[in-house]
Amino acid sequence: MYILKNSLRNLSRNRGRNLMVGGIIFVLIVSVVTALMINNTADGVINDYKTRFGSEVSLTINRENMVNQVQGGRSSGASRGAFIRPSIPPEQYLAFGSSDHLLYSVFTAQGRGVSDQIEAVDEALGGGGGPALIGQGPGGNAVEQPQLRQYMFRLLANEYGDFDSGDRELAEGRFPENPGECLISVDLLELNGLSVGDTIRISADISELGSQSGEETYHDIDYVLTVVGAYDDLTDEYGANMRENAYSNRRNEIFMVFDDLAAEVREGWMGISIDAAYYLKDPGLLDAFAAECYAKGLSEAFSVTTDQASYNAIVGPVENMKGICAAFVIIVLAFGAVILALLSSIAIRERKYEIGVLRAMGMKKHKVVFGLWTETLVITAVCLILGLGAGMLAAQPVTDFMLDQQVAAAENAGPNSGGPQPVMIGGGVRIGGGQMLSNFGGPAAEPLQELDVSLGFLTVLEIVGIALILSSLSGIIAARKITKYEPIKILMERN
């Protein structure tokens, strides 16, 4: 008890020195509080971004690899017409989506169908679906033959881009969520006297092109679908240069769930096309995911790339700011430790006679050290309370200033100084082949322009730990100094 009372009295006896030590510790704690709040908040934001959005992967044609394959085929005597633009089979798209390296995948599908139960809009104009391209003619030109089957309806899954853009909107009911549900246009609903809750039957097919005969073998698929909603359509019924028939009329597009439409996908069969967008858990997993795709059959004519530029544009400013804060903490602590060590060493030399008297009275060395450490601990505790408050007040303005600087630097470094552009995951994702896919209802990732910092429990623990280390530093120095002092020698030097 005497040690504690004596330590508290010493705080008032040596006000000047203690105020100097307290001022240094206060500045260190405020700096560390501000930097750690920014660093930990930025780390949480970055991890949250990775968890919710991931890093988009694109499967794009590698023209250089294609040229090399073509040249290699010609040197081996292959005909000129044997080389066609590569494509990714539907089953490969599905296989790639099962990778453990992905945060999630977005699949879309299209099919073709007819019905003997409901009438299509503009059914009098006939059906369609496009001509079949069968075989290669002289000089590599495709031989075009008439389509054997005529289709009235286009079946879609996850193709909700027009709803995102506002060209279509839900008029009644809801979107299909479960197997056996569908969404149709209001025109189709009224034409057939249907209402939400009614059931329709659509017949579709997948086909296999015979390698020898050139004829297609069809496998019929029957879908029994419950109408769970209807949509208003502001799009043109027919796009530019489109043949006017029931199949190309956009009022005849029927939306289904992906699992229904893709259930009949078979290797080597056509009729149901699938596209996908993949999102890595982390951009660093790109090489591993690419190797997995090639092992699952992806052609070497395709390159597996990630949109690193957009990723950096979104989280780059925050990551840079996090790195600056981490470096700042290290520098501040290093300089602060050196200054405290010097002050503690000087303080021990100034108090040598006091230490000699206590030792001559019979006080053990460890108790003397404990008394000096207690003084510093009390000073540190007071500075910790004041520093937490001051650091919390300073953290947000400092964060806003640093983030503005980093965002401005990122914008100046962007393409044509245009700055970072939002990556719209919900409004259209560009993948290989140039098609725009949509993940309706998905989140939209925009560049991080704001960062609201807060003092979390982990940050408080880190700050308390740093404060204890700073206060213990003087105790370690005092212990080393005191162990070298002999009481009688100290008192003799004093005389």
Annotate 291-350 with DSSP letters as a single string.
HHHHHTT--TTEEEEE-HHHHHHHHHHHHHHHHHHHHHHHHHHHHHHHHHHHHHHHHHHH
Pairs from 463-466 (Cβ < 8 Å, separation ≥ 24): 463/29, 463/32, 463/33, 463/36, 463/384, 463/387, 463/388, 464/384, 466/29, 466/32, 466/333
Distance of alpha carbon 250 from alpha carbon 234, whole angstroms? 10
Is pLDDT above 80 for 229? yes
pLDDT category at 139 given cuts 50, 70, 90 is very low
**Are β-strands 199-209 and 102-114 bridged in parallel, bridged antiparallel, or unpaired?**
antiparallel
Phi, psi of 236 (to 5 degrees): -70, 140
Give Cβ neighbours of residue 247 (< 8 Å, ≥ 6 apart).
112, 127, 128, 129, 150, 151, 152, 153, 154
pLDDT category at 424 given cuts 50, 70, 90 is very low
Average pLDDT over residues 243-271: 86
Q: What is the pLDDT of residue 438?
A: 34
Distance of alpha carbon 1 from alpha carbon 399, whole angstroms? 45
Tokens 């979390």 — which residue?
456
Is pLDDT above 50 for 386? yes
Query: Which H or E element spans position 149?
Result: none
Q: What is the pLDDT of residue 90?
A: 82
In sequence order, what are the beta bridge partners of 204? 113, 221
Distance of alpha carbon 444 from alpha carbon 304, whole angstroms? 23
Per the prediction, the chain carries an average pLDDT of 74
Q: What is the pLDDT of residue 217?
A: 73
Average pLDDT over residues 284-299: 89
The 10s digit of each residue's pLDDT in 186-228 is: 999 999 999 999 999 998 887 776 544 456 677 788 899 999 9
Please list the alpha-helical segments (H only) found in 364-456: 365-413
Most confident of 200-214, 325-339, 354-368, 478-492: 325-339
Share of the chain above pLDDT 70, in %: 68
Distance of alpha carbon 471 from alpha carbon 373, whole angstroms? 7
Number of H helices, E strands in the chain: 13, 14
Distance of alpha carbon 289 from alpha carbon 157, whole angstroms? 25
Distances (CA, A) of 330 to 46, 321, 476: 21, 14, 21
Minimal CA–CA distance to 315: which of 351, 354, 283, 362? 283
Distance of alpha carbon 218 from alpha carbon 112, whole angstroms? 12
Share of the chain above pLDDT 90, in %: 16
pTM check: above 0.85: no
Tokens 């029927």 — which residue?
254
